[in-house]
Structure 1
């Protein structure tokens, strides 16, 4: 069992650790400099802690994304689940990972970059994804035993060599990390979208334990908590190491984490730097894509049981390939409003679901009121971001924290308390009637 938990923890880590997770911490460290530790503490809240709590909630509820949304309304639960799987699946998450693998992983390895090289790369990439995701019982072996340890080893080697031979010393912070480093770190972790991904990945982890004979609910939850903790600890070590790598980089003018990592790879590995960095990125994207295809296929098969799992793996692999050929910029433009729409709502539902584990009375309005209001605020934010209705701009900016894209946070806290009060009194009023009956 301990071996299964360890391997499952590695697998969960590989699902979370995509290319975005690889490039965010170095840029944070590069910008935050002496405020790096404070900023990374904020990053860890939304980039590590929140996804870990999501894993626990899904395992405890034993129902996946839809069951969490059903607390609001069954129709809402179904639509919410479909939006989640579309956003992290074929419309965004899968093709984005493939494009990042191509754009970054082969940037300095291929002599020519054009549409045809993208198509050729995507064919090979998605063929590997398809083959590994085709056999769900073997995913835990393929990812947990092989790909993830290789990925961790390469990143660890890069970070250790930078620790031994840093380019320079940590300087004064810059940008948004000068005055509010912890808030900036929280927002950086927020935009990793790992909480949304966790809603799907958690189901895969639960399935893996069940396939290996863990069917008792308490044992299952404890096993998932331990596997999630292993993943979280690995993320903490890797993220903070990558942040220090960025903070110790004094070469000026870097615009993103990709350039920082490429620079340090070349500096410590020499002529093989580009090859090493390319392998890191491709492995990170590959493991993420495998997890996404598996999660999407499992969900689709649950809704359409007449179609086999293998058929859905083929469908999502082909869809991922087709969308990936559109190019990264177009994919990102298409996905931004979808992610803005679902991410705050996902956070709200996870936090309320976590709260419901410890609350003894039935929580109905505690789910409905904050979720619906958060959904409305998210739509309002999209309208403001795309300047759809000028009259809404002033209304949106009346909300606290609207200037840092957290306009939903205060209403969520207040309305959750309101919902708890309503549910508490409704629960108490219902008790005498139940007794009389």
Structure 2
């Protein structure tokens, strides 16, 4: 069983560690410099701790994304789950990962980049995704035993060589990281949106344990906690190592983590550096896509049991291929409003669910009140982002923390407390000890 937990932890790590997770930390380190450790601590809170807590909550609820939303209302639970799987699936997560693999992973490998090469690359990419995702019982072997260790070894080799032979020394912080390093790191981790991905990936991990004979709920939760801890520990070490790579890169003018990693790959590996970096990116995106297709197909089969899992894998692989050929820029334009709408709500529901584990009475208003207000604030943020309804925009901009896209935070805290008081006064159900 310990072997199963280890391999499941590696698989969960591979699901989380996409291209965005690879390139955010180096840029953070490059900008934060001497404040890297403080900033990365903030990054770890929202980029590692929150997704890890989400894994635990989903395992504890034993019903996936929908069961969390059902605490507000069954209809809301269904709609919320569909929005989650659309955002991380066919409309954004899957085609975005494929596009990033193409744009970054093959940037210095393919001699030409055009629509034809994108289609060919996407076709091969999704064929591999389809074949591996087709057999859910083997995903734990394909990812946990093979692809993930290869990915970790290549990243570790790059980081170790850079740490042994840094390009420069750590200097002074610049920009927002000079003034508010912790808050800036928290926001960077927030913008990875890994918590939304965790809502789907957690179900895959739970299902893997069940397929391997773990039926007892308490045992299942314990195993998920251990597997999640392995994933979180790996993410923590690799994120900090990548941030250190960025912090010790003194070459000026880099605009994102891709350039920093490419520069260092060439520096420590020579001409083979581009190839190795391309492999890192493609593997990171490939493992993430496999997890997303598997999660989306499992959810779709649950809602439409008459259609087989294998058919849904084919559907989501084909949809991923078709949407990925639209290009990364168009995909982002489609997905941003949807993600802005669901991400704060996802965080709110996960945090309330976590609190509910330790509350000895039934929580109802503590779920409903903050969720509804967060949804309203998210709509106001979308209207503000697109500069619609100026009177409403003025209202949104007056909300505390609106300037850093955390306007939902204070209302959430206040309304959870209000909801808990109401639930306590109306308590009629005591949780069994």
Shorter-normalised TM range: over 0.9
- Aligned-residue offset at 1:61: 0.4
**What is the aligned length?**
430
State the match for 2:283 in structure 1: 283
State the match for 1:33 in structure 2: 33
1:367, 1:277 → 2: CA distance?
44
2:122, 2:397 → 1: CA distance?
42
2:15, 2:59 → 1: CA distance?
16
Q: Residues 319-375 of structure 1: CA distance to partner in whole angstroms, max 9, x if unpaired? A: 000000000010011111110000000000000000000001010000000000000
2:48, 2:361 → 1: CA distance?
30
State the match for 1:9 in structure 2: 9
1:349, 1:228 → 2: CA distance?
19
Q: Residues 156-190 of structure 1: CA distance to partner in whole angstroms, max 9, x if unpaired? A: 00000000000000010011101001111111001
Matches within 5 A, 1:299-338: 299-338=299-338
State the match for 2:177 in structure 1: 177
**Is 1:247 aligned to 2:237, yes or no?**
no
- Aligned-residue offset at 1:392: 1.3
State the match for 1:210 in structure 2: 210
List gaps (5 residues or longer) in structure 2.
none
1:156, 1:234 → 2: CA distance?
11
State the match for 1:401 in structure 2: 401
State the match for 2:148 in structure 1: 148
- Aligned-residue offset at 1:398: 1.6
What is the SS of the residue equivalent to 2:119? helix
What is the SS of the residue equivalent to 2:108? coil
2:183, 2:169 → 1: CA distance?
24
- Aligned-residue offset at 1:407: 0.2
2:392, 2:250 → 1: CA distance?
43
State the match for 1:46 in structure 2: 46
2:83, 2:174 → 1: CA distance?
37
1:405, 1:325 → 2: CA distance?
31
1:382, 1:236 → 2: CA distance?
32
Q: Residues 118-166 of structure 1: CA distance to partner in whole angstroms, max 9, x if unpaired? A: 0000000000000000000000000000000000000000000000000
1:426, 1:220 → 2: CA distance?
32
2:35, 2:57 → 1: CA distance?
32
State the match for 1:224 in structure 2: 224
2:273, 2:389 → 1: CA distance?
49
State the match for 2:101 in structure 1: 101
TM-score by length of 1: 0.98
List gaps (5 residues or longer) in structure 1.
432-437
What is the SS of the residue equivalent to 1:406? coil
Q: Residues 69-88 of structure 1: CA distance to partner in whole angstroms, max 9, x if unpaired? A: 00111110000000000000
State the match for 2:269 in structure 1: 269
State the match for 2:387 in structure 1: 387
- Aligned-residue offset at 1:397: 1.7
- Aligned-residue offset at 1:42: 0.4
TM-score by length of 2: 0.99
What is the SS of the residue equivalent to 2:425? helix
- Aligned-residue offset at 1:221: 0.3
2:399, 2:419 → 1: CA distance?
20
1:293, 1:394 → 2: CA distance?
40
Runs of 4+ in 1 over 3 A off after TM superposition: none
State the match for 1:22 in structure 2: 22
What is the SS of the residue equivalent to 2:427? helix
Q: Residues 30-86 of structure 1: CA distance to partner in whole angstroms, max 9, x if unpaired? A: 000000000000000000000000000000000000000001111100000000000
Matches within 5 A, 1:123-134: 123-134=123-134
What is the SS of the residue equivalent to 1:427? coil
State the match for 1:434 in structure 2: none
1:416, 1:351 → 2: CA distance?
10
